[in-house]
């Protein structure tokens, strides 16, 4: 940083234009340092440790894919589903993964619109995580259909049966919501990546890498005329992604609420699901970022301030989820409906009470430590709590699904659901797919939005002065 820039920054701070705060990027790197630091991750040699980790996650993925293959050849009778529980881990995992996928777009879109500059360090990896989580979610719903090779039956297309999708069904809404979410997230992510891929194209040494990044960056040159369109386009994408994030989990919750089963048929579900999704998504971002930050040594860009902010969001959304748990109980009592009351008493004290109380402890009790700043800035603690939240949010979906189904209206058909090795393997497999994709991403794609970080460095923007309009 030149003396002039330093002076200007000081001046700007004094004028209140750039408040003196804890920096978002530590160590005052120059623009060139940022390029070098982040691109060096891509340039670095692939280590044995990396390959070993990838082998483990790849093995998990392969094992899950084998379980899926087994399911497809044998049929979903391979799972523990039967009357009365017709939805089990398949839908639990689907809702879990789609929920995880909410943090990425939330960070990219909503925080962008609110000019939360701290998002720049984490948005790239959070968006990547979103896409990978939605891939896992799609895997789960496709396998849930039983005949995934006929997936296109879910889409309205002119066919020999002259049939159309039943648009009165929330399951059809879900198809549109999840696919739209995947497409828009992927577009948003890729548009954000283009300038960084161009940076890599000009930075990397190897010829093949130059060609690959060259093709992927689509010939971006950083032209101001292009940036002008780009910024507006990015803003529009952020603007439309914001309601999209809120809608997707609402629509997922319609799968339950539009039905008439006690325990599902509640109006609180859409906001409760969205809050839960953001909660679990942030927890997963925390888990991954804590590791990424350590391994790739990104402490300069991902600071304790970032974690502090994210933990505040986890605390807030955790409280919302806790409120929803309480409200469900209250409304069940207040409704005066015997079935509604019974389902909620059964949820807390019945066969699945262990799952319910795991959920409450993980989701409501554990984040309470974040009232203390020390806890919000303790890496080991936040790592543990992020895992707790992940577990708790998985159990939330499991509890909602199985407690409503396992005791239906006819006591004679009551049952208890437990998964088979196939379902357990598929869950492990989705984690394998998710982690493998994230590992590949962390190695070959800039994990931090280079151009965005540069644009928030002190002194990177011109000082305000009057620009006469031509």
Partner 1 sequence: MFSRRFDMGVKVGGAVVGAVAAIVFLVGYFGVRNSVADVGYRPDQPVPFSHKLHTGELQIQCQYCHAGVEASAHSPVPTTQTCMNCHTAVKAESPKLKVVRDSYESGQPIEWARIHKVPDYVHFNHSRHIRAQIDCKSCHGPIEEMGVVSQFKPLTMGWCLDCHRNPEALIVGARPISGVFTGKLHAVKDLLDSSYIFTPIAAQVGKSTPITVPQFGSYDTDIPPLTVAGIPHPKKAGIGPENCSTCHY
Partner 2 sequence: MSTTPVGVIGEFTEVNAAVAAAEKLRDAGYRSWDIHTPYPVHGLDKAMGVKRSILSYFSFAGLVGGLSTAVGLQYWTGAVDYKLNIGGKGFFDWQFSVPIDFELSILGTALLTVAGLFHLCRLPTWYNRYQDDESFKKATDDTFVVTIDSEDDRFSADGTQTMLRQLGAANVHLVTATAE
**Sites for partner 2 among residues 143-162 (CB under 8 A):** 156, 162
Distance CA 160, CA 408 (A): 38
Closest CA to 171 of 227, 254, 275, 246: 254
Our CB check for partner 1 shows the closer of 150 and 163 to be 163
**HSE-up of residue 330 (Cα within 13 Å, Cβ side):** 7
CA torsion sign for 283, 287, 288, 289 is positive
If contact means CB under 5 to 8 A according to the sort of partner, which of partner 2, partner 1, none does residue 247 touch?
A: partner 2
Distance CA 14, CA 117 (A): 20
Which residue do the tokens 């151009």 mark?
451
Distance CA 285, CA 66 (A): 28
- Min CB(158)–partner 2 separation in Å: 10
Restricting to residues 34-73, which ones interact with partner 2 according to CB under 8 A?
A: 35
* Residue 163 interacts with partner 1 (CB under 8 A): yes or no: yes
Candidate list 231, 379, 409, 421; residue touching partner 2; CB under 8 A: 231
Cα 213 from chain centroid? 26
Candidate list 226, 305, 377, 443; residue touching partner 2; CB under 8 A: 226
Our CB check for partner 1 shows the closer of 159 and 183 to be 159
Q: Are 62 and 335 in contact (CB under 8 A)?
A: no
Our CB check for partner 2 shows the closer of 201 and 306 to be 201
Restricting to residues 206-245, which ones interact with partner 1 according to CB under 8 A?
A: 211, 214-215, 219
Which residue do the tokens 């198809």 mark?
175
If contact means CB under 5 to 8 A according to the sort of partner, which of partner 1, partner 2, none does residue 343 touch?
A: none
If contact means CB under 5 to 8 A according to the sort of partner, which of partner 2, partner 1, none does residue 173 touch?
A: partner 2
* Residue 394 interacts with partner 2 (CB under 8 A): yes or no: no
- Min CB(175)–partner 2 separation in Å: 9
Restricting to residues 102-161, which ones interact with partner 1 according to CB under 8 A?
A: 159-161
If contact means CB under 5 to 8 A according to the sort of partner, which of partner 1, partner 2, none does residue 199 touch?
A: partner 2
Q: Write phi, then psi, for 264 (nearest 5 degrees).
A: -110, -35
DSSP letter for each residue of 288-345? HHHHHHHHTT-TTTS-HHHHHHHHHHHHHHHHHHHHHHHHHHHHHHHH--HHHHHHHH
* Residue 199 interacts with partner 2 (CB under 8 A): yes or no: yes
Q: Are 266 and 257 in contact (CB under 8 A)?
A: yes
Interacting residues toward partner 1 by CB under 8 A: 159-163, 201, 211, 214-215, 219
């Amino acid at each position: 940083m030149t003396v002039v820039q330093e002076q200007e920054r000081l001046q700007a701070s004094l004028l209140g234009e750039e408040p003196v705060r804890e920096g978002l990027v530590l160590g005052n790197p120059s623009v060139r340092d940022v390029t070098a630091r982040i691109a060096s991750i891509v340039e670095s040699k692939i280590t044995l440790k990396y390959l070993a980790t990838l082998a483990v996650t790849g093995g998990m993925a392969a094992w899950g894919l084998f379980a899926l293959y087994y399911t497809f050849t044998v049929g979903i009778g391979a799972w523990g589903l039967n009357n009365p529980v017709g939805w089990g881990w398949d839908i639990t995992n689907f809702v879990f993964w789609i929920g995880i996928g909410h943090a990425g777009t939330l960070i990219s879109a909503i925080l962008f619109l609110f000019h939360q500059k701290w998002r720049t360090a984490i948005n790239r990896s959070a968006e990547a995580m979103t896409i990978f989580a939605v891939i896992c979610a799609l895997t789960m719903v496709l396998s849930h259909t039983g005949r995934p090779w006929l997936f296109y039956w879910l889409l309205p297309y002119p066919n020999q049966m002259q049939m159309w999708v039943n648009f009165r069904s929330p399951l059809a809404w879900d198809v549109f919501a999840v696919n739209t979410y995947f497409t828009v997230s992927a577009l948003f992510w890729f548009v954000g990546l283009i300038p960084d891929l161009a940076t890599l194209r000009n930075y990397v040494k190897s010829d093949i890498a130059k060609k690959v990044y060259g093709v992927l960056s689509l010939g971006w040159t950083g032209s101001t005329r292009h940036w002008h369109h780009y910024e507006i386009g990015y803003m529009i994408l952020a603007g439309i992604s914001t309601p999209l994030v809120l809608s997707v989990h609402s629509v997922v919750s319609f799968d339950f609420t539009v039905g008439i089963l006690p325990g599902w048929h509640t109006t609180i579900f859409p906001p409760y699901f969205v809050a839960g999704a953001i909660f679990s998504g942030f927890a997963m971002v925390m888990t991954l970022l804590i590791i990424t930050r350590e391994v790739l040594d990104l402490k300069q860009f991902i600071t304790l301030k970032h974690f502090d902010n994210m933990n505040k969001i986890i605390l807030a959304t955790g409280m919302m989820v806790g409120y929803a748990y309480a409200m469900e109980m209250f409304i069940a009592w207040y409704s005066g409906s015997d079935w509604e009351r019974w389902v909620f008493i059964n949820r807390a004290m019945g066969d699945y009470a262990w799952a319910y109380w795991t959920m409450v402890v993980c989701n409501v009790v554990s984040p309470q430590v974040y009232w203390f700043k020390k806890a919000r800035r303790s890496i080991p603690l936040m790592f543990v709590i992020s895992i707790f939240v992940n577990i708790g949010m998985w159990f939330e979906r499991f509890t909602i699904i199985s407690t409503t189904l396992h005791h239906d209206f006819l006591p004679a058909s009551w049952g208890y659901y437990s998964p088979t090795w196939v379902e357990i393997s598929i869950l492990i497999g989705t984690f394998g797919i998710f982690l493998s994709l994230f590992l590949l991403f962390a190695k070959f794609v800039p994990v931090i939005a280079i151009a965005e970080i540069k644009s928030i460095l002190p002194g990177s923007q011109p000082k305000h002065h009057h620009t006469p309009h031509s």
